[in-house]
Amino acid sequence: MTLAYAPGKVILFGEHAVVYGRPAIAVPVTEVQAQACIEPGVAGQGVVVVAPDLDRRVVVCEAADDEPLACIVRLTLETMGRERDPDLTVTITSTVPIARGMGSGAAVSTAIVRALAQHFHYWFPSRAISDLVYQTEVLYHGTPSGIDNTVVAFEKPIYFVKGVGWEVFWVGKPFWLAIADTGIKSSTREVVGDLRHGYQADPARYQPLFDRIGEIAVAARSAMEQGRTEALGQLMDENQALLREMGVSCPELDRLVMAAREGGAQGAKLSGAGRGGNIIALVAKETRGRVDMMLRLAGATNVIVTEVE
């Protein structure tokens, strides 16, 4: 048996604008993880991917080209130079919430790559894993920025600019985030597609919004590296106002953002595609319990508190 894991993630700053070349920041969330378990299969079965949480069973040799689970297995085996279809059962389980902006697809794909590599005693650098997983992100999301696969593969805070590159960076002082789930599934493909249509129809409206979100991400990186966590809350609030103006927030997200602030959070915003999914709130050790309570009272179906370091 071979086991491998990959974390979830949240975007701190820059969602949506990152698709249009502005910088974004994302961090891993190790409190939730995807797990891939590889065991020998029955002779002649080939690779079979089983996802009991989703009641799915994918026979890789029979699956369509656009099946993400089969795609990541094929890509990984091809990259490792494994030409034949080995008889393996790959069982996927995950605590990363689906369609909540936490990188569930990237986490599952990364766990599969890591498990196959360990099983065949092959070493992939994090960059190679990220590049492989990106190809399945296209199947999940249509026009992904590439930030999910990068932060999940590296498991470090990432400063990312689409088409330019990314950088791992370190925070000057750890800080805490509360991640609250609206309970509403959010389709990255749909929200990104809707925003693209709006941008194409009226670029003069969206360009300044994207520009300011990019400026906020630059300022946030500087604050994080210098340990000025008190500056992050105001930047989060401003980022949220811009996302609302872009039309990607919703009443449920707005309600949780307000509840977090009322509970003592220094700032709060949606994270990910929007129109559902999660909000993130900047909390301190002494306020995280009250913020957690206020979020649940406001309707959050789950709250995760994670330390960024």
CA distance 268 to 264: 10
CA distance 193 to 189: 6
Q: Which residue, among 27, 38, 54, has the nearest Cα to 5 in the 3D structure?
A: 38
Chain mean pLDDT for the chain = 94
- pLDDT higher for 236 or 143? 236
CA distance 130 to 124: 10
- DSSP assignment, residue 43? T
Give the sheet arrangement for strand 267-271, strand by strand: 267-271, 278-283, 175-181, 302-308
Percentage of the chain beyond pLDDT 70 is 100
Helix ranges restricted to H, the chain: 68-79, 104-119, 126-141, 147-154, 188-201, 203-225, 230-246, 251-262, 288-297
Burial 126-154 (b: 16+ CB within 10 A, else e): eeebbbbbbebbebbbeebbbbbbbbbbb
CA distance 253 to 279: 7
Q: Which residue, among 160, 63, 149, 64, has the nearest Cα to 114 in the 3D structure?
A: 149
Q: How confident is the model at residue 188 (pLDDT cuts 50, 70, 90)?
A: confident
Residue 109 has pLDDT above 90, yes or no: yes
Residue 144 has pLDDT above 90, yes or no: no
CA distance 249 to 244: 5
Residue 83: per-residue pLDDT = 72
pLDDT digits (tens, 9 = 90+) for 201-259: 999 999 999 999 999 999 999 999 999 998 999 999 999 999 999 999 999 999 999 99
CA distance 196 to 19: 9
pLDDT digits (tens, 9 = 90+) for 85-104: 899 999 999 999 887 889 89
Domains of the chain: 2-168 (3.30.230.10), 175-308 (3.30.70.890)
Query: How many whole angstroms from its chain centre is CA 285?
Result: 24
Residue 141 has pLDDT above 80, yes or no: no
pTM of the model: 0.87
| Count of CA atoms in the C-beta half-sphere (13 A) of 94 | 25
pLDDT digits (tens, 9 = 90+) for 19-45: 999 999 999 999 999 999 999 999 999
Residue 145: per-residue pLDDT = 75
